[in-house]
């Protein structure tokens, strides 16, 4: 199966959510929550993420996670991840109780398609947002479908990550098959995702490569980035039919006290400007 067919398949039975003029969505991906060890890449940004999550809860956003939320290639036990990051799952449960939580699976947490951390909360491969003004749709998925080794051969990739690359990471050796760590793989994956948008003339929002991208009329490809950057986390906000790329980071006030800062990196880009090219 070609990468284009794999991406198409992700949306074949994807649920559809309404996008109204007053709709508020925040889209995260690639949190890679772990078990609190030195391999837990989420650990260094857990406070940034919790502060951001609390902000979006208080401001009535719906939360969408595009996969790889939990690191289930390096770790076997999801319950161990829940225990370590119990505050995060508590806050996510508040979104869930108010029907504001929508979760997809990626390659690193593909196992979640077979179980439900919250009762009746299903993990899907794709999601569509239907614009109530134009009737057109935005397409959301993790993005690993464009990467043969991490989609078709995901079981082999999981085995290598768990038993080879995870131990070697302690010595600074990076996984050469990872789109997040290998620039050649990253660029190839992004070119394929961009190709899908050109063929279908649809807005595509993904994660997987960890490189944040805000689309434009010249490219309808968007990427949320990740929550495992060295000093920040990134996401995409969709508010009043406008998309913005946002960074959360630690900053200082003039009196040298620290605070968690929200910074708009790019945008907003209006859907009306984008959809007329789709």
**Which structural domains are found in the chain, ordered by start?**
3-275 (3.60.21)
Mean pLDDT of 92-96: 94
Instruction: Select the more confidently predicted residue: 197 or 277.
Output: 197
pLDDT interval class at 172 (50, 70, 90): low
Mean pLDDT for the stretch of residues 21-25 = 92
Is residue 195 left, alpha or beta, with left meaning phi > 0 and alpha meaning psi from -120 to 50? alpha
Confidence tier at 177 by pLDDT (50, 70, 90): low
Q: In 3D, which of 223, 156, 140 has the Cα closest to residue 186? A: 223
Chain segment 198-212, per-residue pLDDT in tens: 999 999 999 999 999
pLDDT surpasses 60 at 239: yes
Q: Average pLDDT for residues 20-28, to the nearest whole number?
A: 94
Q: What is the pLDDT of residues 124-154, one digit of tens each?
A: 899 999 998 888 899 999 999 998 877 787 6
| 54, containing H or E segment | helix 46-58
Residue 127 class from Cβ within 10 Å (0-12 exposed, 13-18 middle, 19+ buried)?
Answer: buried
């Amino acid at each position: 199966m070609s990468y284009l067919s794999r991406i198409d398949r992700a949306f074949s039975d994807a649920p559809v959510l309404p996008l109204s003029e007053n709709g508020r969505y925040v889209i995260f991906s690639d949190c890679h929550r772990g078990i609190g060890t030195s391999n837990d890449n989420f650990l260094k940004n857990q406070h940034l993420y919790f502060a951001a999550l609390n902000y979006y809860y208080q401001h009535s956003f719906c939360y969408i996670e595009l996969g790889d939320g939990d690191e289930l290639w390096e770790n076997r036990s999801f319950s161990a991840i829940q225990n370590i990051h119990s505050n995060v799952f508590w806050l996510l449960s508040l979104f869930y109780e108010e029907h504001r939580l929508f979760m997809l699976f990626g390659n690193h947490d593909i196992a979640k398609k077979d179980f439900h951390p919250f009762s009746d909360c299903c993990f899907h491969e794709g999601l569509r947002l239907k614009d109530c003004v134009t009737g057109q749709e935005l397409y959301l998925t993790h993005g690993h479908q464009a990467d043969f080794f991490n989609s078709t051969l995901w079981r082999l990739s999981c085995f290598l990550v768990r038993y080879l690359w995870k131990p070697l990471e302690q010595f600074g050796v990076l996984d050469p098959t990872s789109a997040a760590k290998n620039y050649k793989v990253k660029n190839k994956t992004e070119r394929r995702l961009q190709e899908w948008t050109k063929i279908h003339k649809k807005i595509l929002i993904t994660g997987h490569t960890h490189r944040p991208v805000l689309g434009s009329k010249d490219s309808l490809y968007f990427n949320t980035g990740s929550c495992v950057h060295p000093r920040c986390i990134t996401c995409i906000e969709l508010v009043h039919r406008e998309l913005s790329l946002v960074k959360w980071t630690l900053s200082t006030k003039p009196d040298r006290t620290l605070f968690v800062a929200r910074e708009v990196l790019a945008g907003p880009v209006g859907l009306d400007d984008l959809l007329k090219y789709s």
